[in-house]
Structure 1
């Protein structure tokens, strides 16, 4: 597999190499040691989630407070999506910046996002299914919601009609409002999660 950094530090695109034969194809979606070498830290899975969405559904932007933080490996296992990662880390040199990937069931492309990054996607087909491998279990009250249509973020959804959104997502604050409320993670705290502890090998 090929693991490539995106424009947002801590977010990586994972592109598998497929093996084809008369039955169809096979590929490795992720290999722990290869991913760890690319992202600079081990990634262990504590929870696996799925979402199923109708065409033109817009989910996000969602993140997790620190603590506990939650890294994710996200892939589209059915259908197709426009996937966007947003840097929610206050103090980050790329705070508010985004990285876009197109994911579909044929390509097998996935996106890894470190703690402190936000995620959202637009379903491009009906019955789109997304898979989330999460480093921490969900803890009620720790989700961060940011408006995916925040004009200041100017995310390139390329909408041709109003999207389908949950009431919670539609009422989410802008990035500036979320920062003012003090709910966003700090860049230095996110980086410290994977920094060596002084005095340890």
Structure 2
């Protein structure tokens, strides 16, 4: 397993070792001790979630705050997505910075998203199966979000905006400025 820091503090790309032969592939998707040794973070994941999305579906930018803030380890099981994170930790040297990465079934890259980050993705393939581990249980009262097209973030989602598919809820999210008022 390889761990590569991103430009955002405490955010890592995790690449598992993949063993291929005539039968297919095998990989260790997560190993607590290897994760802790490589990152210095002692994370206890308590919930696994999975979504299936069609091409153009944009989910995000979501996060939980306060005592229910979640760290996530995200990956694509099938298909391809553009994954986006934003550091919302006001005391962080990378506050308001954005990082994007392509996650797909071919590269098998995973992204560790620390607590205090907004997270979202858009499906680039015909279908995607997206999986993520969380270190806190989902709590609706702590759920928040930032609008995907916030001008201050200037995120290029790599997809035509008029072809994006968003939930009504995600279309009504505040801008970063509105959230921090």
TM-score above 0.5: yes
Cα shift readout 1:66-113 (whole Å, capped 9, x = no counterpart):
112111100011110011111011232211101111111122111011
Moved over 3 A (4+): none
User: Match for residue 169 of structure 1?
Assistant: 170
Q: Residue 141 of structure 1: SS of its match in structure 2?
A: helix
Contact 2:16–2:108 (8 Å) recurs in 1: yes
Cα shift readout 1:115-161 (whole Å, capped 9, x = no counterpart):
10111111011221110101011112111210111011011212224
Structure 1 CA distance, aligned partners of 2:131 and 2:2? Answer: 19
Contact 1:79–1:104 (8 Å) recurs in 2: yes
Number of aligned pairs? 180
User: Match for residue 178 of structure 1?
Assistant: 179
Q: Which runs of 5+ in 1 are unaligned?
A: 181-201
In the superposition, the TM-score normalised over structure 1's length comes to 0.86
Bigger strand share? 2
Q: CA RMSD in A?
A: 1.1
Rg comparison, structure with higher value? 1
User: Match for residue 137 of structure 2?
Assistant: 137
User: Match for residue 88 of structure 1?
Assistant: 88
Contact 2:68–2:137 (8 Å) recurs in 1: no
Structure 2 CA distance, aligned partners of 1:161 and 1:177? Answer: 22
